[in-house]
Amino acid sequence: MAKVKGLALFDEDRCKGCELCTYVCPVNIIVMDNKKINKRGYHPATVTNMDKCLGCANCALMCPDTVIKVEREFVSERR
């Protein structure tokens, strides 16, 4: 059975902290990094647990500022 492995890469200095990506992630792995302030003065969005990422690109679709690049691969799982 193939599993999906996703990679969501955030260009943090483009982020305006709108939080829309956090709202649409189906596995809830995106949070606003309250410990960081980017060049624009916002808390940028970031992924907490990339292992769970499906590479669905909902976040990238929803982002108005093309902050996110998404990669994906199918990994075969050994039984």
Question: Would you say 58 or 79 has its CB closer to another protein?
Answer: 58
Q: What is the DSSP string of the chain?
A: -EEEEEEEEE-GGG-----HHHHH-TT--EEE-TT---TTSS--EEES-GGG-----HHHHH-TT--EEEEEEEEEPP-
Closest CB 63 distance from another protein, rounded Å: 8
Distance CA 43, CA 33 (A): 6
Using the rule CB under 8 A, is 58 a contact of another protein? Answer: yes
Minimal distance, residue 79 CB to another protein, in Å: 24
Binding of another protein by 65 (CB under 8 A): yes
Q: Exactly one of 36, 61, 78, 79 binds another protein (CB under 8 A); which one?
A: 61
Applying CB under 8 A, the residues found at the interface with another protein are 5, 7, 14, 16-20, 22-24, 40, 42, 55, 57-58, 60-66, 68-73
